[in-house]
C-alpha cells in the first residue's frame, strides 16, 4: 500500500471513529457530517473527499457494524464461552453479547430506520446482513444434511410462500429447502426479538437475569427445531 493510500485509510478510519462517537453520544439520528468534520478539525468539503454524502458514511458504518457482529458470532461458535454448547446456542449468545456491548451500533442496524437514509443499490448493506444470516443459519442446522432438512415436519406452506423461498438468493438462506428456510426465519425472529427487547432497555426489570432467560429461550428454540426433524 502506498503512502497516499495509507494516509487515506487512516483519515477514513478517523472519520468513522468520530461518527461512531457521535452515534454513541446522540444516537444514530444525531449523526451529522458538519459535527463530524468539526470534531476532526476539518471542513465539510474536505470530508466529502472521503464520503461524498451522509448516506455513504452511514452505509460504511452499517456494513462495518454487520461485519463486526458477524465476526463476533463466528468467534462465539468457534470458541464457545461454555465448552460443549451447541453451535446455535453459542451463536445466539455471541449475537446477544455483541448487541449489549455495542447498543448504539446495534440500534443503527436494527433500530428505527434513519430518516432520509437510502441504502445503496449495489447491495453492500444487504450483503452484510446476508453474511450474518448465513453464520447463524449454519449454526442452527449444524450437522444436519439437506435430506433431513427437506423432510422437516412443518405446517403446510402455500404455493406462493414456497415459491418465494425458492427465489431467495443462494448466498443468503436460499440454499435451504423452503421448509427449513421458513423455520429459520421463525427462529431468527424469536432470537432477534429477545435481544432487541434487552438492548433497548425493555427487559431491565429482569436484571440481572436476562442472560438466564435468553439462554433458556434459545435452548427451547433449538429443541423445537430438532423435534421437527425426521428420524
**Cα–Cα distance between 73 and 97 in angstroms, integer?**
9
Query: Can you give the pLDDT at residue 45?
Result: 93
Query: Can you give the pLDDT at residue 174?
Result: 67
Query: Can you give the pLDDT at residue 203?
Result: 95
Query: Can you give the pLDDT at residue 178?
Result: 85
**Cα–Cα distance between 139 and 115 in angstroms, integer?**
34
Average pLDDT along the chain, 231 residues, taken 10 residues at a time: 86 96 92 93 93 94 98 97 95 98 95 90 93 94 86 85 85 80 93 96 95 97 90 68
Query: Can you give the pLDDT at residue 179?
Result: 84
Query: Can you give the pLDDT at residue 156?
Result: 84
Burial 20-41 (b: 16+ CB within 10 A, else e): bebbeeeebeebebebbbeebe
H/E segment holding residue 24? helix 3-26
**In the block, residue with C-alpha cell 485509510:** 9
**Does the predicted model carry a pTM greater than 0.95?**
no
Closest CA to 65 of 27, 112, 16: 16
Amino acid at each position: 500500500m502506498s503512502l497516499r493510500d495509507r494516509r487515506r485509510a487512516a483519515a477514513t478510519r478517523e472519520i468513522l471513529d468520530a461518527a461512531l462517537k457521535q452515534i454513541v453520544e446522540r444516537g444514530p439520528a444525531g449523526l451529522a457530517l458538519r459535527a463530524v468534520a468539526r470534531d476532526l478539525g476539518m471542513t465539510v468539503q474536505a470530508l466529502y473527499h472521503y464520503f461524498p454524502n451522509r448516506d455513504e458514511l452511514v452505509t460504511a458504518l452499517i456494513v462495518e457494524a454487520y461485519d463486526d457482529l458477524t465476526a463476533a458470532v463466528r468467534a462465539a461458535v468457534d470458541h464457545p464461552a461454555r465448552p460443549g454448547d451447541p453451535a446455535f446456542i453459542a451463536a445466539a449468545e455471541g449475537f446477544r453479547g455483541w448487541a449489549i456491548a455495542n447498543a448504539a451500533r446495534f440500534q443503527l442496524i436494527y433500530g428505527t430506520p434513519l430518516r432520509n437514509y437510502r441504502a445503496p443499490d449495489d447491495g453492500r448493506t444487504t450483503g452484510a446482513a446476508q453474511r450474518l444470516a448465513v453464520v447463524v443459519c449454519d449454526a442452527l442446522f449444524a450437522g444436519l444434511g439437506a435430506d433431513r432438512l427437506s423432510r422437516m415436519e412443518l405446517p403446510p406452506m402455500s404455493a406462493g410462500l414456497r415459491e418465494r423461498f425458492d427465489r431467495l438468493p443462494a448466498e443468503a438462506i436460499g440454499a435451504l429447502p423452503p421448509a427449513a428456510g421458513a423455520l429459520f426465519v421463525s427462529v431468527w425472529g424469536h432470537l432477534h426479538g429477545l435481544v432487541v427487547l434487552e438492548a433497548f432497555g425493555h427487559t431491565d426489570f429482569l436484571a440481572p437475569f436476562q442472560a438466564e432467560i435468553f439462554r433458556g429461550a434459545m435452548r427451547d428454540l433449538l429443541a423445537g427445531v430438532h423435534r421437527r426433524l425426521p428420524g
